[in-house]
Amino acid sequence: MKKVKQNTETGRTYGGESAADRLARQRRQFMDAGLELFGTIGYRATTVRMLCKQAGLIDRYFYKTFHDTEDLLVEVYTEAVDQIKDKVILAIAEAADLGNPELQINAGLDAFFTAYENARVARVCWLEVLGVSPRIDALYTSRIQDFGDLLLLQGKAIKPSWSLPEEETRITGIALVGAIIQSAMQWLLDDYRSPRAALVNANSRLIRSLLESGQ
């Protein structure tokens, strides 16, 4: 009955790293490997062996941090979406100083499309997470909803008089997010052929026209 513990707390240092540091580094290596593989060959084609080879680690350390490849997908997706949401919020906030609502919308959209010029991130966020499991479906819908709410909030901020029928508000926010995502998705699948400004302008016009009409 030997203790086989290798907890974060009981573990000793190795290679100049504490147990916690090693765990964190391994996690990061697997996250990077996940983004790389999920974003290129795709989630369903990615195996544990491949992830380990890409990360330069062995499977024991994968199972120590993640339960599944699905588990890893959840974390890679969440990290990517959260980072992009932060960038968009930051861009909108910075543009607020200009006092021009249109420039604010454009700044947010530009930050969004710029972030998704990383094809791996784009592929994971839009092509790979869909239809994997009910758990991930729920995660996806919640993130889309978040973005929709952000858009609605921004719309209200720009034009306080703007209002829609109760039941259609949420749907409209989601629809706007869908417009942005779909154009970005086609952009990705078309090897980013159009200039980013065209994407920004087309979606900006769509949002502005809705804000102007619905008074």
Partner DNA sequence: TACTTCTGATGGCGCTTGTCGTCAAATAGT
Partner DNA sequence: ACTATTTGACGACAAGCGCCATCAGAAGTA
Distance CA 179, CA 88 (A): 16
For residue 178, the partner it binds in a copy of itself, DNA, none, with Cβ less than 5 to 8 A by kind, is: a copy of itself
Residues 10-38 as b/e (b if ≥16 CB within 10 A, e otherwise) read ebeeeeeeebeebbeebbebbbebbbbbb
**Contact flag: residue 68 with DNA (CB under 7 A):** yes
For residue 48, the partner it binds in a copy of itself, DNA, none, with Cβ less than 5 to 8 A by kind, is: DNA
Q: Which stretch binds DNA (CB under 7 A): 59-67, 127-135, 171-179, 200-208?
A: 59-67
For residue 214, the partner it binds in DNA, a copy of itself, none, with Cβ less than 5 to 8 A by kind, is: a copy of itself
Closer of 58 and 189 to DNA (Cβ)? 58
Question: 42: alpha, beta or left, given left = phi > 0 and alpha = psi -120 to 50?
Answer: left
The secondary structure of 96-142 as a DSSP string is: GGG--HHHHHHHHHHHHHHHTTSHHHHHIIIIISTTS-HHHHHHHHH
**Selected binder of a copy of itself within 44, 60, 135, 156 (CB under 8 A):** 44
Greatest Cα-to-Cα distance within the chain, rounded to the nearest angstrom: 74
CB-count burial class (<10 Å; 0-12, 13-18, 19+) for 120: middle
Distance CA 174, CA 145 (A): 6
**Selected binder of a copy of itself within 50, 119, 185, 192 (CB under 8 A):** 185
What are 44's two structure tokens?
């369903």
CB of 140 to DNA, least distance (A): 22
**Contact flag: residue 49 with DNA (CB under 7 A):** yes
**Contact flag: residue 61 with DNA (CB under 7 A):** yes
Q: Sign of dihedral through CA atoms 38, 39, 44, 50? A: negative
What are 68's two structure tokens?
């599944």
The 127-166 contact track toward a copy of itself, x by CB under 8 A, reads xx-xxx----xx-xx--xx------------------xx-
Applying CB under 8 A, the residues found at the interface with a copy of itself are: 42-44, 123, 126-128, 130-132, 137-138, 140-141, 144-145, 164-165, 167-168, 171-172, 174-183, 185-186, 189-190, 194-195, 198-199, 201-203, 205-206, 208-210, 212-214
Applying CB under 7 A, the residues found at the interface with DNA are: 2-3, 5-6, 10-16, 19, 22, 47-50, 56-61, 63, 68-69
